[in-house]
């Protein structure tokens, strides 16, 4: 194993992004810490099986998400929606509204989005993964990723429209 795949090097490089992803899923510091530590435990026991060093980050995010699903499997069922069925549910949001929000408030609002949509949104917007990469990490079809991001964005936009006064300007959303 090269130094790039050394355990301490991986922890240093990926702990922050993995913890942030875990926190966006669990909305609890303790659970996010547990998930992140569990991910590195799995790496310590199975990481040697990874043949392509360029896939380490994806492997870690996939493992973390799989551990999260294992934690929640009995509680949550993830529905599948086609994007074409949901287009009419997308609210409009102005660039001005986006500018009044700070990152911490958006992450907080992401925690209020329905659970099936949180992981795809976090991976897409916070970690800059492509739809295809997200499909691999979450182990779901590409269409499911697209619909979850679409539905999740609709919910997030609705939260922003309804709660933008929290950002400090006291404005009301244009859609009531």
pLDDT for 10 beyond 80:
yes
pLDDT for 85 beyond 70:
no
Please report the pLDDT score of residue 88 as a whole number: 58
Identify the band that residue 6 occupies on the pLDDT scale cut at 50, 70 and 90: confident
Please report the pLDDT score of residue 69 as a whole number: 86
Query: Which of 18-22, 65-69, 70-74, 150-154 is predicted most confidently?
Result: 18-22
Q: Which of 23, 161, 169, 15 is nearest to 104 (CA)?
A: 23
Instruction: Spell out the residues 6+ positions from residue 151 whose beta carbon is closer than 8 angstroms to its own.
Output: 81, 86, 89, 114, 116, 117
Please report the pLDDT score of residue 4 as a whole number: 56
Structural domains in the chain plus CATH codes = 3-72 (1.10.1740.10), 83-167 (1.10.10.10)
Asked if 24 contacts 111 with a C-beta cutoff of 8 angstroms, the reply is yes
pLDDT for 37 beyond 80:
yes
Percent of the chain with pLDDT over 90: 38
Q: For 96-131, write each residue's pLDDT tens digit.
A: 655 556 666 777 888 889 989 999 998 988 888 889
Please report the pLDDT score of residue 120 as a whole number: 93
Please report the pLDDT score of residue 74 as a whole number: 47
5 phi/psi in degrees, rounded to 5: -100, 10
């Amino acid at each position: 194993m090269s130094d790039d795949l050394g355990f301490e090097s991986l922890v240093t490089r990926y702990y922050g992004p993995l913890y942030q992803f875990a926190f966006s899923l669990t909305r609890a510091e303790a659970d996010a810490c547990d998930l992140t530590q569990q991910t590195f435990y799995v790496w310590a026991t199975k990481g040697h099986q990874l043949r392509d060093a360029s896939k380490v980050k994806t492997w870690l995010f996939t493992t973390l998400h799989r551990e999260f699903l294992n934690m929640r499997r009995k509680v949550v069922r993830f529905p599948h929606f086609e994007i074409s069925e949901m287009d009419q549910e997308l609210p409009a949001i102005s660039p001005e509204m986006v500018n009044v929000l700070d990152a911490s408030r958006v992450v907080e609002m992401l925690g209020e989005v329905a659970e099936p949509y949180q992981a795809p949104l976090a991976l897409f917007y916070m970690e800059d993964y492509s739809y295809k990469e997200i499909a691999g990490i979450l182990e779901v079809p590409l269409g499911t990723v697209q619909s979850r991001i679409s539905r999740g964005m609709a919910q997030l936009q609705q939260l922003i429209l309804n709660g933008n006064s929290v950002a400090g300007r006291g404005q009301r959303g244009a859609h009531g």
